[in-house]
Structure 1
Amino acid sequence: MTRYGYARVSTDEQTHDPQLLALEREGVREIVLDTVSGGVPAASRPGLSGLLAKLQPGDSLVAARLDRLGRTMLDVMGLVGSLVERQVRVRLLDVGIETGTANGQLFLTILAGFAEFEREIIRERTRAGLEAARCSGSRLGRPARLTGRQRRHVVELHKAGKSLHEIAQIMAVSKTTIWRAVSCGGRRSGNGGSGTDDRVTRPVRLTPAQ
C-alpha cells in the first residue's frame, strides 16, 4: 500500500511549494506534479493520468486541496468516485477528509448532492438556451415543420379558442410543434421583428471562445 501525493498549479509562474509543504508534513514522499489549468480533465493531465494508471487497491492519493483534483464538483466527484470504486483511498488535507472513514462517507454523500445540483443547473441552462434559440429562429435539429406564416396562423387559432389538439389536426403536425409555436408567440426570427417572411433561417455558427 503506497501513498501518493498530487499537486497542481495553473502556470509556470506559480509555485507548488505550499502544496508540497502540506504533503511533506503529512509524510507523503512520492509526489506527482502538474502545471496545467484546472479545466484540463484528469485524463489529459500528464502527471495525474500517469498516477491514476498505476494506483492499486489499498493505495492512497493525497491532495493538499480539493480543487486541485478538478474545477467543478462534477469533476471532483467523478474522479473521487472512480478511485473509491477501485478501492483507492483519497485524502484531502484542506477539508480533513479521507474516504473509507465515517466522515469520508458523509463527505462523499454531500459532494454527490452538490454534483447533482450542478448537473441540474447545467440541464436547466441547456433547456433554456435551446428554447430561446427556437424562439429566436435558430435552426436546431430537424427542419422546422411550420413556416413563419403558419406559426402566426397557429397563434391566431389558439387565441380564437382552438385547443392544441384541434390546431394540430388542422395543421397536420404534432401537438408538441403547436405548443412550441404558441409558446414562442409565432416568432421565428431573432431580429425582434414579426417574422413576416418565410425564408429558411441559417443555422447559428458558434465561434469557440479564445
Structure 2
Amino acid sequence: MRRFGYARVSTDHQSNDAQIIALRHEGLADDQITQDVISGGVPALSRPGMAALLNAIQPGDHLIAAKLDRLGRDTVDVMGLIRILNERRINLRILNIGVETDTPNGRLFLTILAGFAEFEREIIRERTIAGLAAAREAGKRLGRKPKLTIRQRSHVLELARSGMSNRQIAGVLDVSASTIQRLTTPGLHQKAAL
C-alpha cells in the first residue's frame, strides 16, 4: 500500500502551503505529493498533475487530499473522480472532513454525495431546458453564430455559379470547405441559411 497526496490551487497567485502542511502532517513526503495550479472548473482527468497521479497510483493505494473542494469545483466532477478511484480500488481520504472511502462512514458520505451530484445534474438540466425555452420564446437564434454573413452567403452562391470549387471559395473566405458545401449543396442550403 502506497500513499499519495494531492493539492490544487486555481492560480499562481494562490498558495497551497496550507494543503501541503496538512499532507505532511499525515506523514507524506514532498515527493509523494502531486500539485496542480489549475482551475477547479477543469475536469479532474484533464488536470496534468491529477492525470499523472492516476497513471501512477495502483489498486490498494491511498490518495489523500486536504480538502474535498481541491478535487473539483462541483459535486458531479468530484463524484466522477471518486467513482474512478472506487472502480480501481483506490482509497480516498479527505482530511478536513475526516472521510475515508474504505470505512462505513466514508461509504455513507459518498452515497449522500452521489445523491447531491444527481440532484445538481437535474437542477442544471432543468435550468438549461427552461433557459432554451425562454430564448426561443423571445425569438433568439440558438446555436453557434453563423460563420458567414448573409452577404457573404450570397457571394458564395455567386462564386459557385461562376464555376469555382468549394475548396477555392473556402480559401477566399477563410472558412472550411464543409461550410461552403453546406451552402452550395441543394437541401443543405436552406438549413445553413437559417
Q: TM-score, normalised by structure 1?
A: 0.65
* Rounded Cα–Cα distance in structure 2 between residues aligned with 1:139 and 1:8: 39
Q: Which runs of 5+ in 2 are unaligned?
A: 144-192
Which residue in the other structure is 1:190 paired with?
A: none
- Deviation >4 Å, runs of 4+: none
How many corresponding residue pairs?
A: 143
Residues 22-46 of structure 1: CA distance to partner in whole angstroms, max 9, x if unpaired?
A: 0011112210011111111122211
SS in 1 for 2:85: helix
> How far 1:12 sits from its partner (Å)?
1.5
Structure 1: distance between partners of 2:85 and 2:6: 14
Task: Report SS of the residue matched to 2:123.
Answer: helix
Determine whether 1:106 maps to 2:123.
no
Q: Distance in 1 between matches of 2:142 and 2:8?
A: 40
State the one-letter code of the partner of 1:35.
V
Q: Which residue of 1 aligns with 2:45?
A: 43
Give the % identical residues.
64
Q: Provide the TM-score with structure 2 as the length reference.
A: 0.70
Secondary structure at the aligned position of 1:4 is classed as: strand
Structure 1 CA distance, aligned partners of 2:141 and 2:38? Answer: 37
Q: Could you tell me how far apart the structure 2 residues matched to 1:50 and 1:37 are?
A: 17
- Amino acid corresponding to residue 80 of structure 1 in structure 2: I
| Shift of residue 139, structure 1, vs aligned partner | 4.4
Name the residue aligned to 1:120: 122
Aligned pairs for 1:49-128 (under 5 A) are: 49-128=51-130
| Shift of residue 134, structure 1, vs aligned partner | 2.0
The CA distance in 2 between the partners of 1:14 and 1:127, in whole Å, is 36
* Partner residue in 2 for 1:21: 21
More helix by share: 2
Q: Deviations along 1:166-204, whole A, 9 cap, x unmatched?
A: xxxxxxxxxxxxxxxxxxxxxxxxxxxxxxxxxxxx87x
Who is 1:133 aligned against? 135
